[in-house]
């Protein structure tokens, strides 16, 4: 076919008035052929969402759009809203990031699918539309579609809502599906399911898919072709294998090298991609990446490089004046972004084996109450249900699990330094239940926390000096000592000491997270609790913060409790791993052991759900897909709590299944780690799909 | 060599971000005074205050002496606002009354806000029993008609000075703001920086002072400014009916009360003090409104 399905040509989108123009998209051109899967990758603010929203004609009226968007021979920019509405939903469908706000809460899922069907096909009868809605829900893998079609969006979990969104998107057999970060708000296990459904939807409808994401791992396994966006432009575009194997633009190279990889050995340090993207209000002359590019020379700053074909490769284009050198191998990729050297570890005396943190059978339940006048207890949420672990001096424990598994409750319980509801917590060998108010305050300087969202954890009204010095005010340190220590801390986390009198909003996400780390370290704690410290950061910034954490651990002999849902990050930083499911630890042991040979079916599924940024690996490896979602913590579960989703359970003979259903597996030591599964010793069943 | 791996060191690339306003409150002030209303309100308020306190020094007559040559004179000559039945200068009386009204407004408005801030923050931050008791008190005060309470207790504070009146006005006008502050505090409490402070071992009252109050400060500033006008009106209403300021003190309200029977026959006795009252309240409201628009971009004039 000569004419591609969608051709975007020199698209420019500008927001704002004369005084402050934001150039969100600057000359983007791409094509999508029929049935093709295009991945668009970029960091936040790179213009990837704006450019595809422009295709749908859904930009606010304040946006100035120029260029050309041709869909199936028609120019979309010339159409008015009414004409566009006929195309939207029937020929081009969109899947949004947040499935909760994309569905109307007052209508049932079925009504919303039927609405989509009837809008574009008036002749369809009510019965036929309903039958089709049920069929669609079945296609996207919603159990019991007959009954579920009458559910409201709030009765669905996040993953099911996203499935319903896909059902609405494919209702009219569209030719093009645009998915804008469809899995960003979801857990990895659910992400794997949704990507699977998206592939299935593509096969059924034969539609082309444009997948917009910040995660290179997600495109690696799914896309045919990948476009990388930076500062409002496409800087590189190539077939997926080509892009991952031989990237020609330094930004792509840096992005690929900065990603922690589940498959890579743990000793390898990450390569940080320093700096941040230019502000879209005032673009520098020349290549927008030049400031962050180690391979930049004077010519890079003169003129913005055009997107030109890279010699020898079909369909590979890159916007870099040194692309030829890189492609030909004269400029070696590892030389552009060399791996930083390891910082020598302070030898920690491993002889004192007493753990610095120890939790023993800690439980935390929340009552669920109903009624306003006569409040009665209608149930109990077991947020944490018997968690035990210990962290040795100078080691890192990675606590992983889906959202709702009780990770955060566990660390909040620890940070209270109070008597646990059940079980015991001890820090440096002291049981927290026995502490007096004054002792507790003293102990606070031993254990500090770094939060997930670096913006929310810094008081916007306080200067960096006051923020970092706040822990010192508890002990009443004199002012000049505070100033001195803050300067030292800023230097320690790699920031200028002169930043002390600025305010949080003047810093980028990565810098703010460094400030949060500096605040935690100022009282010289021995233990640092890290609650998803990098999940709110862009990939390129993430590597710098992770390296910093590793350096600090090595130099100061810190112990980390590292909570994360990103297994690649945990793989990179943790010595021990504890996998949580429904408030309990299902597998706990040395990280290398668990990552190389997971024994619990849940751990296996979790690992296999993590996308690997390598298309070859992605295509060949087998997957363990989990069924359904996390059960409600309100349910009373007998037997093994993981039974309902367990891929192994389905393969077991009936007598063994009975044991799973009746007996709750206790934690046992199998192959040098603790596992809660009756069948952990068995050689692995082939549960992979 | 730097103490740390140089590749992990970030350098601030944007030099000009240093010139950005360092303080959020500063930005609010600037945005406030971008509105013309704010300038009009502020200048008018400043002029009125200046007039109230400097004016009597420059006036030819004082407020209590009778001018035997002019009983019930119309404005003109030496008596700019005219005189009353016994020849007292209304201009001088208005200024003295204005002084008292402004002082009452300036104390009672912010005092109510202060109560609201602290009570609301404590209820929101501590929750539990403290919260329930405070909310109960707030609801009680809201359903009791405050005017009648003041009327009932007025015999008691008739013997006390006007300061008692200020306290009473504040006590009856903090409730709604306290509820707002309580709600804000409850959401701030869940923010990570408050949690972080808690885990550092910072004492609760310090957290309220350091993190909660500054983050609701913008609300409190608006409330205090609007509260000045409201307190002046409240005081005038009470005084008009004879429950507020007692002789020998005068306020705009008591002045209006004593001249209300002459409002038709000798309008200047009533109209000129009334105009002064309206101008004062209008000035504070203009300023308060501009503050609110600057802080909350979704309200009022900034909405499009």
3-state DSSP call for residue A13? strand
CB contacts under 8 A, A 443-472 vs B, are 444-445, 448-449, 451-453, 456-463, 467, 470-471
Check CB contact under 8 Å for A494 and B10: yes
Q: Which residues contact A300 (CB under 8 A, 6 or more apart)?
A: A286, A287, A290, A293, A321, A322
Q: Do B8 and A340 touch (CB under 8 A)?
A: yes
| A597 and A522 together in one domain | no
Does the CA dihedral A480-A484-A489-A490 come out positive or negative? positive
By the 8 A CB rule, do A561 and A574 touch?
no
Output the pLDDT for position B302: 40
CB contact, 8 Å: A502 with chain B?
yes
User: What one-character DSSP code corresponds to residue B19?
Assistant: G
**Beta-sheet strands, E only, within A428-468:** 430-431, 447-450
Residues in chain A predicted with pLDDT less than 70, given as ranges, are 1-2, 17-19, 264-267, 312-313, 342-353, 371-374, 633, 683-689
- Taking the CA of residue A308 and the nearest CA in chain B, the distance in Å comes to 29
CA distance B19 to chain A (A): 10
Best CA proximity match to A24, nearest among A9, A54, A55, A46: A46
Residue A647's contacts (CB-CB under 8 Å, 6 or more residues apart) are A601, A604, A605, A624, A625, A626, A627, A687
Name the residue with tokens 């404005």.
Answer: B75
Map A563-612 to HEC letters. EECCHHHHHHHCCEEEEEECCEEEEEEEHHHHHHCCCCHHHHHHHHHCCC
Residues A547 and A605 grouped into a single domain = no
Residue B212 has what DSSP assignment? Answer: I
Please, are residues A108 and A154 in contact by the beta-carbon 8 Å criterion?
no
| Least Cα separation, residue B127 to chain A (angstroms) | 17
The residues on B that touch A, with CB distances below 8 Å, are 2-5, 7-14, 17-18, 20, 22-25, 191-193, 195-197, 199-202, 206, 210-211, 214-215, 217
**Rounded to a whole number, what is the distance in Å from the CA of B123 to chain A's nearest CA?**
20
Per-residue pLDDT of B73-92, as tens digits, reads: 777 777 777 777 777 887 88
Residues 6+ apart with CB under 8 A from B203: none
Residues of A in contact with B210 (CB under 8 A): 459, 462, 470
Asked if residue A389 belongs to a domain, the reply is: yes
Between B64 and A68, where is the model more confident? A68
> How many folded domains does chain A comprise?
3
Given A551, A567, A587, which residue is the final one in a domain? A587
What is the predicted pLDDT for the residue at A665?
A: 87
> How far apart, in Å, are the Cα atoms of A514 and each of A1, A452, A492, A494, A542?
52, 12, 9, 8, 11
Q: Note whether A80 and A74 are within 8 A (CB).
A: no
Mind giving me the DSSP string for A370-405?
E-SSS-EEEEEEEEEEEEEEEE-TT-EEEEE--TTS
Of all residues in chain B, what percent are helix, strand and coil, respectively (each to 5)?
70, 0, 25
Grade residue B2 by pLDDT with cuts at 50, 70 and 90.
Answer: very low
Give me the CATH number covering residue A423: 3.40.50.300
Tell whether A669 is within 8 A of chain B (Cβ). Answer: no
| CB contact (8 A) between residue A514 and residue B10 | yes
- Give me the torsion for CA of A189, A191, A195, A197, rounded to 10°: 70
Q: What ipTM describes this predicted complex?
A: 0.74
Q: How far is B40 from chain A (nearest CA, A)?
A: 27
* A142 lies in some domain: no
CA angle B235, B239, B245 (to 5 degrees): 85
Tokens of A440: 């507790």
Are residues A477 and A361 part of one domain? yes
Query: If DSSP codes are grouped into helix, strand and coil, which group holds residue A115?
Result: helix
pLDDT in tens, A121-178: 888 888 999 999 999 998 888 878 888 889 888 888 778 888 888 888 888 888 999 9
Q: What is the pLDDT of residue B300?
A: 45
Is A506 in CB contact (< 8 Å) with chain B? yes
N- to C-terminal Cα separation, chain A: 35
Radius of gyration of chain A (CA): 27
A213 within some domain: no
Cis-peptide, bond into residue A435, ω within 30° of zero: no
**Host domain of residue A257:** 243-262+269-339
- Which of A587, A622, A645 lies at the terminal end of a domain, its last residue? A587
Give the nearest chain A residue to B207 (CA atoms): A470
Q: Angle of helix A479-492 relative to helix A509-521, nearest 10 degrees?
A: 130
pLDDT for the residue B24 = 44
Partner-chain residue, chosen from A341, A451, A514, that has the shortest CB–CB distance to B192 = A451
Inter-chain residue contact A448 with B199, CB threshold 8 Å:
yes
Spatial CA neighbour of A562 closest among A598, A614, A605, A517: A517
A16 neighbors A22 (Cβ within 8 angstroms)? yes
A75 in a domain, yes or no? no
The Cα–Cα gap between A163 and A142 comes to 7
* Residues B259-285 as b or e (16 or more Cβ within 10 Å = b): beeeeeebebbbebbbebbeebbbbbb
| Residue A447, strand partner residues | A527
Q: Where along chain B do its domains lie? A: 27-68+78-298
Neighbours of A294 (CB within 10 A): 14
Q: What are the pLDDT digits (tens) for B101-124?
A: 888 888 998 999 999 999 999 999
Q: What is the pLDDT of residues B222-248, one digit of tens each?
A: 888 888 888 888 888 888 887 777 777
Position A634 in a domain: yes
What is the side-by-side strand order in the sheet with A74-75?
A: A22-32, A6-15, A64-71, A74-75
pLDDT of residue A684: 57
Are A579 and A601 in the same domain? no
Same domain, A575 and A622: no
Measured between beta carbons, which residues in chain A are less than 8 angstroms from residue B17?
506
Residue A686 has a CB neighbour count (10 Å cut-off) of 10
- For B159-198, the pLDDT digits (tens) are 777 788 888 888 888 898 999 999 999 999 888 899 889 8
Rounded-to-integer distance, Cα A608 and Cα A591, Å: 16
Rounded Cα–Cα distance for residues A225 and A243 (Å): 8
Q: Do B215 and A460 touch (CB under 8 A)?
A: yes
* Residues on chain B touching A272 (C-beta within 8 angstroms): 7-8
Q: Which of A277, A306, A339 is the last residue of a domain?
A: A339
Residues B55 and B41: their CA atoms lie apart, in Å, by 20
Q: A 18-47 residues with CB below 8 A of B? A: none
Chain B residue nearest residue A442, CA to CA: B201
Instruction: State residue B183's pLDDT score.
Output: 92
Which 8-state DSSP code applies to residue B70?
-
Distance CA A225, CA A316 (A): 10
CB distance A459–B12 less than 8 Å?
no
Q: Look at residue B57 in the predicted model and tell me its pLDDT.
A: 77
Q: Which CATH architecture has domain B27-68+78-298?
A: Orthogonal Bundle (1.10)
E-strand ranges in A4-126 read 6-15, 22-32, 37-41, 64-71, 74-75, 92-95
Q: A6 phi and psi, to 5 degrees?
A: -130, 130
State whether A372 and A307 are in the same domain: no
> What's the burial of A177, exposed, middle or buried (CB within 10 Å: 0-12/13-18/19+)?
buried
* CB pairs < 8 Å spanning A and B: 112
Maximal C-alpha separation, chain B: 93
| Distance in Å, alpha carbon of B43 to nearest chain A alpha carbon | 29
Q: What is the residue whose two structure tokens read 């609701």?
A: B216
| Domain-located, residue A474 | yes
- Is A416 a member of any domain? yes
Beta carbons of A491 and B201 less than 8 Å apart: no
Contact A383, A364 (CB under 8 A): yes
* A-chain residue closest to B15, CA distance: A506
* A671 in the same domain as A573: no
Judging contacts by C-beta atoms under 8 Å, the chain B residues touching residue A61 are none
Smallest CA–CA distance, residue A200 to chain B, in Å, is 41
Q: Domain for residue A195, yes or no? A: no
* CA distance linking residue B216 with residue A403, whole number of Å: 32
Q: Which residue has the tokens 């552009």?
A: A336
Q: How many CA atoms lie within 13 A of B61 on its CB side?
A: 23
Q: How far does the CA of residue B121 sit from the closest CA of chain A (Å)?
A: 17
**What are the two backbone dihedrals, phi and then psi, of residue B38, each rounded to the nearest 5 degrees?**
-60, -45
The Cα–Cα gap between B294 and B38 comes to 10
Res A667: pLDDT: 85
Same-domain pairing of A576 and A596 = no
Residue among A272, A445, A514 whose CB faces B7 most closely: A272
């Amino acid at each position: 076919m000569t004419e591609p399905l969608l051709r975007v040509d020199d698209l420019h989108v500008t927001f704002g008035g004369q005084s402050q123009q934001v150039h969100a998209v600057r000359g983007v051109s791409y094509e999508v052929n029929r049935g093709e899967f295009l991945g668009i990758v970029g960091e936040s603010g790179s213009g990837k969402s704006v450019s595809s929203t422009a295709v749908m004609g859904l930009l606010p009226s304040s946006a100035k759009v120029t260029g050309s968007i041709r869909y199936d021979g028609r120019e979309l920019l010339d159409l008015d809203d009414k004409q566009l509405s006929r195309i939207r939903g029937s020929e081009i469908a969109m899947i949004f990031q947040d499935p909760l706000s994309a569905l109307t809460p007052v209508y049932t899922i079925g009504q919303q699918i039927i609405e989509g069907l009837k809008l574009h096909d008036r002749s369809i009868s009510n019965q036929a539309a309903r039958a089709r809605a049920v069929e669609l829900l079945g296609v996207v893998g919603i159990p019991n579609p007959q009954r579920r079609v009458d559910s409201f969006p709030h009765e669905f979990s996040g993953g099911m809502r996203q499935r319903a969104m896909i059902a609405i998107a494919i209702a009219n057999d569209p030719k093009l599906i645009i998915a804008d970060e469809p899995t960003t708000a979801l857990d990895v296990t659910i992400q794997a399911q949704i990507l699977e459904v998206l592939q299935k939807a593509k096969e059924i409808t034969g539609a082309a898919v444009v997948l917009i994401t910040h995660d290179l791992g997600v495109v690696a396994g799914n896309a045919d072709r990948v476009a990388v966006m930076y500062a409002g432009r496409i800087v590189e575009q190539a077939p997926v294998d080509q892009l991952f194997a031989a990237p020609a633009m330094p930004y792509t190279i840096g992005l690929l090298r900065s990603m922690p990889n589940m498959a890579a050995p743990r000793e390898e340090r990450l390569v940080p991609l320093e700096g941040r993207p230019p502000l879209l209000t005032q673009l520098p002359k020349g290549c927008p990446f030049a400031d962050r590019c180690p391979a930049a020379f004077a010519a890079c700053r003169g003129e913005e490089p055009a997107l030109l074909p890279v010699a020898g490769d079909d369909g590979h284009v890159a916007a870099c004046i040194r692309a030829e050198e890189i492609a030909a191998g004269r400029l070696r990729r590892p030389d552009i972004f060399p791996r930083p050297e390891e910082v020598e570890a302070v030898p920690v005396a491993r002889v004192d084996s007493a753990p610095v943190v120890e939790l023993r059978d800690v439980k935390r339940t929340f009552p669920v109450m109903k009624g306003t006048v006569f409040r009665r207890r209608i149930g109990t949420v077991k947020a944490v249900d018997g968690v035990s672990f210990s962290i040795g001096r100078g080691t890192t424990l990675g606590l992983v699990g889906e959202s709702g598994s009780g990770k955060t409750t566990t660390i909040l319980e620890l940070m209270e330094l109070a008597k646990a509801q059940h079980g015991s917590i001890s820090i440096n060998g002291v049981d927290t239940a026995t502490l007096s108010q004054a002792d507790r305050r003293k102990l606070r300087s031993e254990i500090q926390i770094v939060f997930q969202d670096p913006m929310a954890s810094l008081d916007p009204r306080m200067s960096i000096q006051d923020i970092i010095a706040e822990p010192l005010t508890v002990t009443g340190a004199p002012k000049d000592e505070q100033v001195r220590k803050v300067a030292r801390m800023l230097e320690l986390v790699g920031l200028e000491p002169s930043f002390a009198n600025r305010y949080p909003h003047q810093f980028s996400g990565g810098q703010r997270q460094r400030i949060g780390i500096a605040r935690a370290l100022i009282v010289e704690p021995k233990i640092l609790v890290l609650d998803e410290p990098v999940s709110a950061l862009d990939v390129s910034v993430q590597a710098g913060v992770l390296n910093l954490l590793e350096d600090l651990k090595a130099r100061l002999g810190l112990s980390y409790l590292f909570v994360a849902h990103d297994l690649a990050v945990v793989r990179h930083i943790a010595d021990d791993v504890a996998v949580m499911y429904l408030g309990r630890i299902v597998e706990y042991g040395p990280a290398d052991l668990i990552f190389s040979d997971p024994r619990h079916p849940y751990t296996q599924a979790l690992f296999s759900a993590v996308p690997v940024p390598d298309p070859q690996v992605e295509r060949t490896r087998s997957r363990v897909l989990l069924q359904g979602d996390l059960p409600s913590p309100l349910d009373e579960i007998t037997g093994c709590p993981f039974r309902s989703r367990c891929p192994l359970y389905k393969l077991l003979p009936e007598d063994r299944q009975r044991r799973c259903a009746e007996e709750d597996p206790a934690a046992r030591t199998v192959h040098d780690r603790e596992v809660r599964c009756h069948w952990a010793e068995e050689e692995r069943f082939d549960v992979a799909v | 060599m730097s103490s740390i791996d140089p590749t992990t060191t970030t350098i601030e690339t944007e030099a000009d971000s240093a010139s950005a306003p360092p303080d959020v409150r500063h930005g609010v002030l600037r945005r406030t005074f971008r509105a013309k209303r704010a300038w009009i309100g502020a200048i008018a308020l400043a002029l009125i205050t200046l007039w109230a306190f400097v004016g009597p020094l420059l006036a030819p007559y004082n407020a209590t002496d009778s001018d035997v040559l002019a009983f019930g004179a119309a404005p003109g000559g030496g008596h700019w606002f005219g005189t009353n039945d016994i020849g007292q200068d209304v201009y001088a009386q208005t200024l003295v009354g204005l002084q008292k009204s402004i002082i009452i407004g300036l104390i009672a408005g912010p005092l109510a806000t202060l109560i609201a801030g602290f009570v609301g923050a404590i209820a929101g931050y501590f929750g539990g029993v403290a919260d329930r008791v405070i909310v109960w008190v707030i609801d009680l005060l809201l359903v009791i008609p405050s005017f009648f309470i003041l009327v009932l207790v007025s015999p008691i504070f008739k013997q006390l000075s006007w300061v008692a009146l200020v306290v009473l006005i504040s006590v009856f006008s903090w409730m709604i703001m306290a509820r707002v502050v309580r709600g804000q505090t409850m959401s701030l409490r869940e923010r990570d920086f408050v949690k972080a402070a808690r885990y550092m071992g910072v004492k609760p009252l310090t957290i309220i002072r350091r993190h909660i109050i500054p983050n609701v400060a913008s609300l409190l500033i608006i409330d205090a400014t609007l509260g000045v006008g409201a307190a002046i009106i409240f005081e005038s209403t009470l005084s008009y009916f004879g429950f507020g300021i007692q002789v020998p003190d005068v306020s705009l309200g008591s002045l209006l009360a004593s001249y209300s029977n002459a409002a038709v026959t000798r309008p200047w006795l009533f109209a000129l003090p009334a105009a002064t009252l309206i101008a004062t309240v209008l000035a504070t409201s203009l300023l308060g409104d501009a503050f609110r628009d600057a802080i909350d971009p979704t309200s009022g004039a900034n909405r499009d």
